[in-house]
Amino acid sequence: MARFVLRRRTILVSALVALAVAYCSLTLVTSRWLAPERFDLTADHLYTLSPGTRQIVDGIHRPLWLTLYFSQHATKDMPQLRSYEQRVAEMLQEMVARSHGRIRLQIVDPVPYSDDEASAEGNGLTTINGGSNGERIFFGLVGSTRPSATDVASDFGADAPEDKGSNTVDRTLPIAFFDPQRETFLEYDIAKLLYQLSEPQKPRIGLITDLPVMGDPVRGTPPWAVMRQLQQLFDVETLDESKLKTIDQKIQVLLLIHPKNLSTEAQYALDQYVLGGGHLVVFVDPYAESDPVPLSEDSLAGTNNRSSNLPRLFADWGVAYSPDQVVLDRGRALPIELAGANLAHPAMLGLGTQELNRDDVVTASLQRVNVSSAGHFDLLPDASTRLIPLMQSSADAEVVPTQRVIDASSNPSTLLQGYQPQNQNYVIAARLRGPFVSAFPEFAKVPGHLAESPPNSEVILVADTDLLTDRLWVETQNFLGQPLQNAFANNGDFISNLVDNLSGSTALLSIRGRSSSLRPFTRVEALQRVADRKFLQKKQELLNELAETKQRLNELQPAKGERDTATSAEQKQEIEQFLQRQLAISKELRDVQHQLNGEIDALGTRLKVLNIVVLPLLIIVAGLLYGWRRTRRNRRKRS
């Protein structure tokens, strides 16, 4: 019997050793040659890449080098920022793992006066103050199509690869600073950087307009600031609307500014461009103040020749828009100076954070966009499309005839006479999401005619063209003989964000805002609210009793010129009683706070015991119970 037990123990020990060796070998093999399997158990799958991001990462065909700059030492006393850095690093590591070696990531701490700090500044990263010992804090990402010297040394040593024979241009692009307020757009920002790095050329942008946005070389007037800004980032191509019959689908974004009396051929070209998946941005205006066409006698008689519209396409898209209406908003009126007097112009609006869509990547980080004599959009009753506002008025707005705004140009204050807010937020700019159908069914027999768009198609609508003008968002100053532009609104950023967003792939457009990684402790917050109510109630009791005591003291004050020792003694006794009661209530306040802390600590202790003790014990008990039952079963079989 003893020999049998010894043999059994030897077999068990040998089996355990064999299992341990097999487990270690399997782990090494899978980690070396197989892609690791990842499981995201967070509530909103925060660490799972969206399909759009996976498509962008899978489409990268050239090596990319990413360097995450984060000031570790300077943020040692900033746990929230350090936690967000871990979130950013984990998102980047997910993309690196997905890329199968096409993306290399390096994390650098740019300590003061180091080469890393100089590299971070040279690549366009911005800093914030408030670090340890007053140090600046870097927290940004630099992406490049060519490795830096540090990357080469760390990844390849002396045998670094050379990108020979490539006809693509090397690019370096930064994310200047990871703002925790933009965490919901973290995945989009990084995916956009990867997409821009993998694109060999600047995105191609088309422009159709009658406004002098590109300036006048004959008169020596420069392009508008917004167009100069776009030309730095994109390849802008002006199209002649009078000769427009087709639009090249290689144009990634088409800006249609102030369309007036477009030909049927031009409108059909726009229709087919949208149905083919093109990205169209339409700027219309009930009264374009920058229109060079002079006001005619007809306009003075009630006919507006500075308005623009796209009636046939709007009707087909289910959009309601009238060039005969202008939005007034006295709560957002901009101050102007007219004839030496300062007044607020209710047709010139400064739209702030409350009027900008904080859930859309285009407007999430903007602070103010200025518009002038803007119209508004709505959906027709039978519309099959969706209108998602980007900018809208406040609820203290009303709509008036365009002609009334024209007539009040010399005295805008008359627009406030009889002002009647309609308690409605009027949509000034929006995304219009399809699918769309062709507005020209009569051209169905034309070769290549498209009858319907893809399901994810969208058009951007803006009911103002004056927001593009310099006067509403930028002022030019002379500095050492050179013009220096100073932006006082985010109009230029709005246009750049629009084009930047639309010029990406459809995969990039599909990436929407994600949830925040911060998870509130709802149970702790509930305890905090209950304790706060108790605390405030006790505090109010103390204040009420203090008021009553003061009133009593006033009643006990002797009359002027009298010296009543009895009254003085009674007053001293009352003061002594009040002081004792004040100390008692203060002790009760402290007890309430201690009770709150005790309940929170007890909750934390219960969670720790549950995670550290109870769950492991349950697993152990389950294992022992399983082993006992198995042993018992084996004994029964042997007997």
Q: Are 489 and 369 in contact (CB under 8 A)?
A: yes
Q: Is the pLDDT of residue 83 over 60?
A: yes
Could you tell me the CATH number of the domain that includes residue 146? 3.40.30
Q: Is there a single domain that holds both residue 85 and residue 153?
A: yes
Q: Is the pLDDT of residue 14 over 90?
A: no
Helix (H, G, I), strand (E, B) or coil at 20: helix
Q: Is the pLDDT of residue 210 over 70?
A: yes
Q: How confident is the model at residue 162 (pLDDT cuts 50, 70, 90)?
A: very low
- Given the structure tokens 């047709």, which residue do they identify? 347
Q: DSSP assignment of 536-554, as one string? A: HHHHHHHHHHHHHHHHHHH
Q: Considering the domain boundaries, does residue 607 fall inside one?
A: yes
Choose one of 176, 198, 220: the last residue of a domain. Answer: 198
Q: How high is the pLDDT of residue 218?
A: 78
Q: Is there a single domain that holds both residue 90 and residue 194?
A: yes
Q: Is the pLDDT of residue 245 over 80?
A: yes
Give the tens place of pLDDT for each residue, 304-329. 789 999 999 999 999 999 999 999 99
Q: How high is the pLDDT of residue 211?
A: 94
Q: How high is the pLDDT of residue 394?
A: 96
Mean pLDDT across the chain, nearest whole number?
A: 81
Helix (H, G, I), strand (E, B) or coil at 366: coil
Give the tens place of pLDDT for each residue, 323-333. 999 999 999 99
Determine the Cα–Cα distance for residues 459 and 194; give it in Å rounded to an integer: 24
Average pLDDT on 468-483 reads 77
Q: Is there a single domain that holds both residue 187 and residue 210?
A: no
Helix (H, G, I), strand (E, B) or coil at 95: helix
Q: How high is the pLDDT of residue 43?
A: 55
Q: Is there a single domain that holds both residue 155 and residue 235?
A: no
Q: How far apart are the first and last CA of the chain?
A: 15
Q: How high is the pLDDT of residue 468?
A: 97
Q: Is the pLDDT of residue 31 over 70?
A: no
Q: How confident is the model at residue 505 (pLDDT cuts 50, 70, 90)?
A: low
Average pLDDT on 423-452 reads 94
Q: How high is the pLDDT of residue 487?
A: 86
Contacts of 332 (CB under 8 A, 6+ apart): 349, 350, 351, 352, 355, 393, 394, 397
Q: How high is the pLDDT of residue 593?
A: 58
Q: Using a cut of 0.75, tell me whether the model's pTM lies above it.
A: no
Give the tens place of pLDDT for each residue, 582-604. 667 666 666 665 665 666 667 66
Q: Is there a single domain that holds both residue 188 and residue 247?
A: no
Determine the Cα–Cα distance for residues 601 and 608; give it in Å rounded to an integer: 10
Determine the Cα–Cα distance for residues 373 and 122; give it in Å rounded to an integer: 42
Strands (E), 75-168: 103-108, 127-128, 137-144
Q: Is the pLDDT of residue 224 over 50?
A: yes
For 602-639, give one letter per residue: b (16+ CB within 10 A) or e: eeeeeeeeeeeeeeeeeeeeeeeeeeeeeeeeeeeeee
Q: Considering the domain boundaries, does residue 359 fall inside one?
A: no
Average pLDDT on 224-239 reads 91
Q: Is there a single domain that holds both residue 478 and residue 541?
A: no
- State whether the Cα torsion 273-276-278-283 is positive or negative: positive
Encoding tokens for residue 225? Answer: 């600031």
Average pLDDT on 616-632 reads 80
Number of domains in the chain: 3
Tally of CA atoms within 13 A in the half-sphere of 589 that contains its CB:
15
Give the tens place of pLDDT for each residue, 270-281. 999 999 999 999
Average pLDDT on 154-172 reads 51
Among 376-380, 483-487, 492-496, where is mean pLDDT lowest?
483-487
Average pLDDT on 4-24 reads 69
Beta bridge partners of 571: none
Q: Is there a single domain that holds both residue 246 and residue 179?
A: no
**Which CB contacts under 8 angstroms, 24+ apart, belong to 239-248?**
239/206, 239/207, 239/208, 241/208, 241/210, 241/266, 242/266, 244/208, 244/269, 245/269, 246/272, 247/206, 247/272, 247/273, 247/278, 248/206
Show the domain range for 75: 51-159+168-198
Q: How high is the pLDDT of residue 356?
A: 96
Q: Is the pLDDT of residue 541 over 80?
A: no
Q: Considering the domain boundaries, does residue 11 fall inside one?
A: no
Q: Is there a single domain that holds both residue 502 and residue 528?
A: no
Encoding tokens for residue 427? Answer: 């949509």
Q: Is there a single domain that holds both residue 500 and residue 526?
A: no
Q: Is there a single domain that holds both residue 455 and residue 308?
A: yes
Q: Considering the domain boundaries, does residue 413 fall inside one?
A: no
Q: How high is the pLDDT of residue 560?
A: 42
Q: Is the pLDDT of residue 299 over 60?
A: no
Beta bridge partners of 461: 282, 430
Give the tens place of pLDDT for each residue, 355-404. 999 989 899 889 999 999 999 999 999 999 999 999 999 999 999 999 99
Choose one of 198, 218, 246: the last residue of a domain. Answer: 198
Q: How confident is the model at residue 44 (pLDDT cuts 50, 70, 90)?
A: low
Q: DSSP assignment of 237-301, as one string? A: EE--GGG-S---TT--EEEEES--S--HHHHHHHHHHHHTT-EEEEE--SS-TT--SPP-HHHHT
Give the helix ranges, DSSP H, for 408-454.
Answer: none
Determine the Cα–Cα distance for residues 488 and 476; give it in Å rounded to an integer: 11
Give the tens place of pLDDT for each residue, 521-539. 555 556 556 655 555 566 5
Q: Considering the domain boundaries, does residue 633 fall inside one?
A: no
Q: How high is the pLDDT of residue 577?
A: 72
Strands (E), 402-481: 427-433, 458-462, 474-479
Q: How high is the pLDDT of residue 619?
A: 82
Average pLDDT on 145-173 reads 56
High-pLDDT (> 70) share of the chain, %: 73
Q: Are 503 and 280 in contact (CB under 8 A)?
A: no
Q: How high is the pLDDT of residue 110?
A: 93
Determine the Cα–Cα distance for residues 597 and 591; give it in Å rounded to an integer: 10
Encoding tokens for residue 76? Answer: 């040692």
Q: Is there a single domain that holds both residue 191 and residue 308?
A: no
Q: Is the pLDDT of residue 337 over 90?
A: no
Determine the Cα–Cα distance for residues 609 and 303; give it in Å rounded to an integer: 78
Secondary structure (H, E, C), 171-232? CEEEECCCCHHHHHHHHHHHHHHHHHHHCCCCCEEEEEECCCCCCECCCCECCCHHHHHHHH
Q: Considering the domain boundaries, does residue 457 fall inside one?
A: yes
Q: Considering the domain boundaries, does residue 339 fall inside one?
A: no
| Largest separation between any pair of C-alpha atoms in the chain | 120
DSSP-derived letter for residue 133 is G
CA-only gyration radius of the chain, Å = 35
Choose one of 474, 509, 544: the last residue of a domain. Answer: 509
Average pLDDT on 90-117 reads 92
Q: How high is the pLDDT of residue 561?
A: 47
Q: How high is the pLDDT of residue 35?
A: 46
Q: How high is the pLDDT of residue 36?
A: 47
Determine the Cα–Cα distance for residues 335 and 342; give it in Å rounded to an integer: 7
Average pLDDT on 503-525 reads 61
Q: Are 387 and 428 in contact (CB under 8 A)?
A: no
Q: How high is the pLDDT of residue 166?
A: 44
- Given the structure tokens 């209950």, which residue do they identify? 530
Q: How high is the pLDDT of residue 384?
A: 92
Q: Considering the domain boundaries, does residue 130 fall inside one?
A: yes
Q: Is there a single domain that holds both residue 309 and residue 234?
A: yes
What backbone torsions phi and psi does residue 145 show, to the nearest 5 degrees?
-90, 0
Among 73-87, 107-121, 162-176, 428-442, where is mean pLDDT lowest?
162-176
